[in-house]
Structure 1
Amino acid sequence: MRFRNLFIAVLVTVSFTAAQAAPQWLSLPPTPTLPKATRSGLAPVNGIKVWYAMFGRGEPVLLLHGGLANANYWGHQVRALQRHYQVIVMESRGHGRSSRNQEPYGYDLMASDVIGLLDDLRIRKTAIVGWSDGAIIGLDIAMKHPERVSRLFAFAANSDPSGVADIASSNVFNAYIARAGEEYKRLSPTPTAYKSFVDDITKMWESQPKWTASDLAAIKVPTWIVDGDHDEAIKRENTEFMAANIPGAGLLIQPEVSHFSFLQDREQFNDDVLHFLARGGDKSGAGAK
């Protein structure tokens, strides 16, 4: 009887602990690593050096990371996608291992860096999966260089600064900013410049992008607008506004995740990306020249 009571007590304790555990949208899982690349390097683009890596074989899929981050954040997605696609990751100017110059940050400029890298790699057309700033860059390219994009999976983007929520009180986002700073010190060619880097990126966030409904209506490539149902940084009404104004766009709200869905529930995120990519679409001109 004593052992039975102890067993019941353990079950109650475990159940209580599980019930009290923080939900996954309040977690920031560790930054993954990238698998071994088939090719990587620094490409000369627009007066800077852009770091990139390539994995797998097949139709190209380009992964664009969020602000302050680096390509390592895509480690789980690269492992899932490289079995079916040629996956390319890159680091935006001033992020990760990429350098920058004195030009102020802007989404048009960073989109032109992407086009420059694709030219350097001789990739005429690619699917794009973007997170946050990476999703905004993807939308910019789809809007202004549609011939270079086969499909766009835009996660946690905003079309206007008013679509960004106040993240100052978010423990998850504050932890991310601190972590990104430590990663910057390890990876950046300017490891002591994180504060000025954040200040410069913040100026961009405060003023860009500024897209209207008619701007979004110019996007003709197959697009999904995606976000987490607990995104601490993006207002839901802005997500819905983008999906409503991009012709034929899908709207997907992933359950029980936040701005860091791809870390918090990698299986759900990966399944959604794979499902989106498998839907096909215009592949003319995809791949190497």
Structure 2
Amino acid sequence: MMRCFCLVLLLVGLFVGQPALAQPQWLTLPPTPTLPEATRSGLAPVNGIQIWYAVFGRAKSAADDPVMGEPVILLHGGLANSHYWGEQVRALQDAFQVIVMDSRGHGRSTRDAKPYGYGLMASDVLALMDFLKVPKATIVGWSDGAIIGLDLAMHHPDRVSRLFAFAANSDPGGVADIAHSSVFNAYITRAQQEYRALSPTPDGYASFLAQIEKMWASQPRWTARDLAGIHVPTWIVDGDHDEAIKRTNTEFMAARIPGAGLLIQPEVSHFSFLQDPAQFNADLLHFLRHVKGS
């Protein structure tokens, strides 16, 4: 009996003081990054509202490098703001002209009474491009931003040179149940805090969230034929543990867009660019360097 008791003490002693096993990175929500110092930023009068934007790096000028200074627009996801792209801006700004914007009603941008829709938000991107005198750009989108990118590629291919679409869905049926996702619920809580800190209407989050959720429940509704009409060079990208997007829908989009690449990033979720920015940035830079724009 004493021998068994001593063995138990020995086993317990092996674990006393040992650190707990770290959570897999796909179950974490790292802090929201900050943006580096911008070359230019401000509020642009767009479609009757004010869109906050920032520009990093420099415009195309180097004749010896075909991508140097090429405009790249980063579009954030629903409920978020441009700060989420902080690590990507730092990775891209030395070689590209990087543009971020807070979508209407998000971050520092204002909104009006028009109901939210991806077509309307795509028109905001076009109007900002006109304001900044950017005729054509590569679009990098996350979640709602990726859906906006797909809308632009589908309906305004003359303004999109390439599309890197991370964590998009083509139909509400492609969205998974996130009600019990601790990571996504933590994100929604954080988004509310950030909204209050940045928004010109800090007390309007409940109304804002309700309007965004209404859009999520009804849009987009693209068919295989719609997707087949995209001829902009496109990569469909997602994390292998995405808690919000069904893998079947990701694969469906990649299969229906002519010539599209499919990339599933390992060990990350809907928040890949926060959870493993080195991996995300390497994949994005590979796309920018090796996928020829239209």
Give the TM-score, by structure 1 length.
Answer: 0.92
**Residue by residue, what CA displacement relative to the aligned partner does 1:2-46 show, whole Å, maximum 9, x if unpaired?**
xxxxxxx9xx6599636x211000000000000000000100110
Paired residues of 2:79 and 2:188 also in contact (CA < 8 A): yes
Give the letter aligned to residue 239 of structure 1: T
Report what 2:219 is aligned to. Answer: 208
Alignment correspondent of 2:258: 247
- Residue 17 of structure 1 aligns to a residue whose secondary structure is coil
C-alpha distance after superposition, 1:123-182 (max 9, x if no partner) = 000001100000000000000000001110000000000000000000000000000000
4+ residue stretches of structure 1 with deviation over 6 A?
none
**Is residue 151 from structure 1 mapped to residue 162 from structure 2 by the alignment?**
yes
2:52 maps to 51
Which one of the candidate residues 176, 190, 204 is aligned to 1:179? 190
Q: Partner of 1:258 in structure 2? A: 269
**Cα distance in 2 between the residues matched to 1:189 and 1:14:** 51
In structure 2, what is the equivalent of residue 98 of structure 1?
A: 109
3-state SS in 2 of match to 1:112: helix
Alpha-carbon distance in structure 2 between the residues aligned to 1:45 and 1:27: 36
Pick from 103, 113, 118 the counterpart of residue 129 of structure 2: 118
Which residue identity does 1:23 align to in structure 2?
Answer: P
Identity between Structure 1 and Structure 2 (%): 74
- For 1:76, give the aligned amino acid: E
Question: Per the alignment, in what secondary structure is the counterpart of residue 209 of structure 1?
Answer: coil
Letter in 1 for 2:113: Q
Give the AA of the match of 1:29.
P
1:224 alignment partner, SS class: strand
Instruction: Quote the residue 1:165 is aligned against.
Output: 176
Q: How far apart in 2 are the matches of 1:206 and 1:99?
A: 23
Partners of 1:224 and 1:183 lie apart in 2 by 30
User: Structure 2, unaligned stretches of length 5 or more?
Assistant: 1-10, 59-68
Q: What is the letter of the counterpart of residue 60 of structure 1?
A: P
- Look at both structures and tell me which one has the larger radius of gyration over its CA atoms: 2
Task: Please tell me the residue identity of whatever aligns with 1:50.
Answer: I
2:144 is the counterpart of 1:133: yes
Q: Within 2, Cα distance between the matches of 1:37 and 1:13?
A: 49
One of 273, 276, 279 as aligned partner of 2:284 = 273
Task: Specify the code of the residue in structure 2 equivalent to 1:281.
Answer: K
Shift of 1:281: 1.8
CA distance in 1, matches of 2:16, 2:266: 25
C-alpha offsets along residues 180-212 of structure 1, whole Å, 9 cap, x if unaligned?
000000100000000110000000000000000
Q: Distance in 2 between matches of 1:275 and 1:155?
A: 15
Q: Conserved in 1, the CA contact under 8 Å of 2:237 and 2:263?
A: yes
Distance 1:17 1:280, change over 3 A: same
CA deviation string 1:75-113 (max 9, x = no partner)? 000000001100000010000000000000000000000
Report the number of matched residues: 273
In 2, the alpha carbon distance for the partners of 1:17 and 1:249 equals 44
* Aligned-partner Cα distance in 2 for 1:76–1:170: 24
* 1:67 match: secondary structure: coil
1:73 counterpart residue number: 84
2:19 counterpart SS class: helix
Change (3 A) 1:215 1:101: same
**Aligned-pair CA distance for 1:282:** 3.2
In structure 1, runs of 5+ residues without a counterpart are: 1-8, 284-289
Distance 1:14 1:32 in 2: 35
Code of the residue aligned with 1:62 in structure 2: it is I
Q: Tell me the residue number matched to 1:142.
A: 153
Residues 87 and 13 of structure 1: CA distance in aligned 2, closer, same or farther (over 3 Å): farther
Residue 73 of structure 2 aligns with which residue?
62
